[in-house]
């Protein structure tokens, strides 16, 4: 069905690929732009900035989000910052270095050309956001401040207190608001995309459900842009918002778009540990804490003394010990796995034994409590609110949690999937982070895609599509809408005995156990055997109340999402099983160096795994397509943070 995967990477030297590409892409004239309808699903950093920018350029945009306002997209929760190669600190940063750090951080599993472009436009993002009124931190001279973040050896991270995501999102949201007033963007809040409509092989529309009235609607467009975020909630417990889901991208996958690298999930090392079975979500503590906090566990197994009673000599500062040069700042995947290791070894902190200490005692002694309060006050407050403990007095307890998903729909250099017309941006695509994302890079990628990449590459597709938008009465729309209604009805008709959440929780625990921080073939096979059973049970025994579509129905909303997670989880495990190597966030226990580091197999696996859905009904194994990754500029090396 699908030929070779063409990544459409432009020719020429790495540094001039993007400029060349822009010079030779097709354009749509200003007069013609208003003839196009663009559908954007999602209103976070990627979707919001894309919708606003396309509106600015004169296209008609319809933007959809499940939240009650575009300002509530989960990008808002990002704390730490956004990277850019401005080199304002005069510490040797450059576009190349940002590119290199990103590709190395991704464990050499991303495309050189994409990542280089990302580093290149990073500077434009900062200019744009400052002009929009994003109140970045500043120095006394009035110029922008930076900090070093997430294991970078230069200070290239721009931030707005611990609320950088919020401020960047509000910038995009305000740009979006401006376009809504200008009439170029029509916003559809509380409207969820339930299906993609493909006409003659091109993505030309979506079917949506209003979360308020239950109304099922058809929307036709000349192109569809998915910016619906990641799938971290497949694990039930994650740092994602409760509503974050895989439905938009998974539905596109079932309509023929390839899903790339679903096993690449990022586990963030510094989250507040789980405290009980009732827990509904995990809370991230910004990684910036590791700049001043020291991570340790007791040296002795089962040492349950309160941390202040454990003498210095009996503490194991394991990150500093194992990675002397990066220490507490080693990359996320490495820090997470190290935490799991010491906890598996029975040396975990706290009641549950699933936690490690993040200690600020030395930093407070060195810098004074005031400075620490200034830097991390809001984070310490959050911590205290949740745990009722003060991190000024005793070390924080932290544990890794699912945070971000590097996998996503496969896209080419133009951010278009193999389905023509379907564009995928932000966390929803797979493109820039490889097997592990560096801190402060997600915000960068979302905004790069939305403000500076898609607005150049989308016209390249549209130019050949003048007047090809189908009417919503086209047979394809009719058919897809019928399918959607039937599926909703089927779900309501089950009328079983178990709540939607109970299935979600069961799936999440299973995946966290078998396809979480560390995976092995046996575990993955067990998960693959179990998931279809949970899914069958779901379709036999789920209970949705009220048992009706035409109303505000949160049970039904969630049921649809969980049903997709129940299929998607399987795809994730298949990918994890097939990728028989360790890389970045994907750690296969069978493949590690003698001292427990991830062992890549570049010979066999230096490629993107893109999965094609096969057939309807019962799940047949998806078909694997490989896109080889070619490295012309960087040398593949084992990541070493020692």
CB of 521 to other proteins, least distance (A): 35
Q: At 260, which helix (H) or strand (E)?
A: strand 259-260
Rank residues 164 and 436 by Cβ distance to other proteins and give the closer one. Answer: 164
What whole-number distance in Å separates Cα of residue 445 and Cα of residue 400? 23
Say how far apart CA 23 and CA 8 lie, in whole Å.
Answer: 15
Q: Which is nearer to other proteins, 391 or 571 (CB)?
A: 391
Sheet holding 422-424, edge to edge: 185-188, 60-64, 37-41, 223-226, 422-424
Find where tokens 């896209």 sit: 411
Rounded Cα distance between 62 and 473, Å, is: 18
Widest pairwise Cα distance in the chain: 74
**Nearest one of 385, 342, 405, 327 to 571, comparing CA atoms:** 405
Residue among 144 and 619 whose Cβ is closer to other proteins: 144
**Residue 399 or 613 with smaller CB distance to other proteins:** 399
* Minimum CB–partner distance for residue 302 and other proteins (Å): 23
Report the residue number, 137 or 624, with the smaller CB distance to other proteins: 137
Tell me how far apart the alpha carbons of residues 295 and 315 are, in angstroms, rounded to a whole number.
10
| Minimal distance, residue 280 CB to other proteins, in Å | 5
Q: Which is nearer to other proteins, 12 or 546 (CB)?
A: 546
- SS3 annotation, 383-446: HHHHHCCCCCCCCEEEEEEEEEECCEECCCCCCECCCCCEEECHHHECCCCCCCCCCCCHHHHH
Residue whose CB is less far from other proteins, 198 or 415: 415
56 vs 341, beta carbon nearer other proteins: 56
Tell me how far, at minimum, the Cβ of 172 lies from other proteins, in Å.
Answer: 10
71: its two tokens? 């300002």
Contact 11, 622 (CB under 8 A): no
Instruction: Please state whether beta strands 216-220 and 202-210 pair in parallel, antiparallel, or not at all (unpaired).
Output: antiparallel
CB atoms within 10 A of CB 83: 31
Residue 130 CB, shortest distance to other proteins, in Å, is 4
Smallest gap from Cβ 588 to other proteins, in A, equals 32
First to last CA, the chain: 46
Q: How far is the CB of 174 from other proteins (least distance, A)?
A: 4
Q: Least CB distance from residue 538 to other proteins, whole Å?
A: 14
**Nearer CB in complex with other proteins: 545/637:** 545
> Closest distance between other proteins and the C-beta of residue 197, in Å?
27
Please give the structure tokens belonging to residue 313: 């000599």
- In this structure, the strands spanning 223-226 and 37-41 are parallel
């Amino acid at each position: 069905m699908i030929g070779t995967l063409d990544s459409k990477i432009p020719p020429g030297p790495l540094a001039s690929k993007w400029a060349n590409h822009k010079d030779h892409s097709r354009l749509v004239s200003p007069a013609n732009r208003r003839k196009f309808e663009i559908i954007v699903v999602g209103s976070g950093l990627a979707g919001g900035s894309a919708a606003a920018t396309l509106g600015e350029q004169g296209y008609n945009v319809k933007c959809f989000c499940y939240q009650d306002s575009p300002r509530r997209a989960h990008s808002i929760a990002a704390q730490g910052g956004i990277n850019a190669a401005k080199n304002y600190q005069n510490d040797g940063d450059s576009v190349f270095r940002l590119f290199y750090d990103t590709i190395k951080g991704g464990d050499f599993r991303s495309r050189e050309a994409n990542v280089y472009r990302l580093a290149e436009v990073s500077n434009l993002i900062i200019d744009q956001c400052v002009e929009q009124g994003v109140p970045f931190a500043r120095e006394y001279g009035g110029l922008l401040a930076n900090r070093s973040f997430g294991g970078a050896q230069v200070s290239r991270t721009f931030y707005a207190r611990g609320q950088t995501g919020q401020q960047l999102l509000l910038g995009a949201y305000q740009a979006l608001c401006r376009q809504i007033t200008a009439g170029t963007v029509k916003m559809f809040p509380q409207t969820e995309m339930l299906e993609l409509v493909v006409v003659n092989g091109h993505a030309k529309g979506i079917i949506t459900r209003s979360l308020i009235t239950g109304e099922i609607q058809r929307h036709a467009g000349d192109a569809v842009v998915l910016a619906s975020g990641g799938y971290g909630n497949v694990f039930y417990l994650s740092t994602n918002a409760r509503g974050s889901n895989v439905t938009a991208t998974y539905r596109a996958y079932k309509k023929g778009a390839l899903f790339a690298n679903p096993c690449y999930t990022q586990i963030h090392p510094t989250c507040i540990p789980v405290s009980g079975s009732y827990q509904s979500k995990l809370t991230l503590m910004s990684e910036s804490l590791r700049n001043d906090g020291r991570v340790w566990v007791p040296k002795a197994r089962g040492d349950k003394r309160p941390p202040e009673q454990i003498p210095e000599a009996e503490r194991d500062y394991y990150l500093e010990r194992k990675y002397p040069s990066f220490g507490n700042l080693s990359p996320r995947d490495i820090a997470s796995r190290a935490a799991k290791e010491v906890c598996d070894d029975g040396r975990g902190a706290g009641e549950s034994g699933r936690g490690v200490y993040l200690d600020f005692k030395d930093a407070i002694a060195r810098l004074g409590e005031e400075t620490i309060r200034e830097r991390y006050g809001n984070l310490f407050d959050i911590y205290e609110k949740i745990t009722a403990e003060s991190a000024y007095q005793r070390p924080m307890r932290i544990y890794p949690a699912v945070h971000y998903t590097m996998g996503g729909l496969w896209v080419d250099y133009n951010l278009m999937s193999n389905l023509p017309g379907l564009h995928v941006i932000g966390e929803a695509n797979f493109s820039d982070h490889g097997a592990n994302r560096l801190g402060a890079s997600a915000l960068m990628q979302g905004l790069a895609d939305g403000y500076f990449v898609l607005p150049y590459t989308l016209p390249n597709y549209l130019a050949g599509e003048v007047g090809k938008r189908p009417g919503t009465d086209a047979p394809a729309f009719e058919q897809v809408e019928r399918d959607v209604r039937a599926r909703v009805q089927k779900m309501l008709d089950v009328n079983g005995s178990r709540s939607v959440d109970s299935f979600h929780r069961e799936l999440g625990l299973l995946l966290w156990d078998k396809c979480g921080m560390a995976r092995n073939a046996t575990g993955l096979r067990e998960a693959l055997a179990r998931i279809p059973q949970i899914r069958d049970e779901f379709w036999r025994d789920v209970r949705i109340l009220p048992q009706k579509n035409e109303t505000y129905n949160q049970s039904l909303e969630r049921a649809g999402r969980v049903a997709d997670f129940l299929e998607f989880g399987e795809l994730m495990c298949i990918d994890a099983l097939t990728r028989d190597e360790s890389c970045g966030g994907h750690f296969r226990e069978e493949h590690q160096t003698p001292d427990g580091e991830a062992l890549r197999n570049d010979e066999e696996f230096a490629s993107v795994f893109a999965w094609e859905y096969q057939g309807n009904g019962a799940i047949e194994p998806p078909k694997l397509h490989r896109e080889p990754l070619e490295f012309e500029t960087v040398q593949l090396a084992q990541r070493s943070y020692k």
